[in-house]
Amino acid sequence: MKSENKYWEFTEEEMHYFGHRLRRIRALINLPERRVKKGDIGGWVSDSAEISGLAWVYDEAKVYENARITDSAEVSGSALVYGSAWVAGSARVREYAGVSGKARIYGSAQVYGCSRSRLIRLVFMAQRRFMDSRGFMIKLKFMIRRELLAQLGFMAQLGFMA
């Protein structure tokens, strides 16, 4: 944990995501401007990521590698911030958006929706799950078709025609 602010801590809950160990965070103090109360559980963060200022990671969002979330930035939903990406100011990354590499998101910028690269990763994950459990794959494939592919119009391109 690179954070110099002591307003959050790691919980015991952990997961491995594409080879990265991520742990849930928990608020140590009230953050009224973030709608976070002491004890609230946040998203997933790696030891090498930086969460500082009054930034917060919500829901199932994941921040890992050398990513930095600073100032009053928010990452929420199922968003991913990784690599050397930096989210600062009052910027928000949400839903299924992915910010990576050396990207800089700052000011009052908002990144949301689903990038095509993220969509392909989700499809790959679904296809990998097929090997483990046929019933789970059917459910996950349906979720991807209805919620993501239909929104972006990639159904024909990726072979998920209804």
Using one digit for the tens of pLDDT, what is the confidence trace for 8-18?
A: 999 999 999 98
Residue 113 vs residue 152, higher pLDDT: 113
Q: What is the pLDDT of residue 80?
A: 92
pLDDT digits (tens, 9 = 90+) for 39-58: 999 999 999 999 999 999 99
Query: Which residues lie closer than 8 Å to 119 by C-beta, 6 or more apart?
Result: 96, 144, 148, 149, 152, 154, 158
* Rounded CA separation 64/84 (Å): 9
Who has greater pLDDT, 151 or 46? 46
pLDDT tens readout for residues 66-115: 999 999 999 999 999 999 999 999 999 998 888 888 899 989 888 887 65
Residue 4 is predicted with a pLDDT of 52
Q: How many CB atoms lie within 10 A of CB 121?
A: 14
- Alpha-helical runs (H) found in the chain: 116-132, 134-143, 150-152, 155-158
Residues 6+ apart with CB under 8 A from 101: 83, 84, 85
> Parallel, antiparallel, or unpaired: how do β-strands 41-46 and 110-111 relate?
unpaired
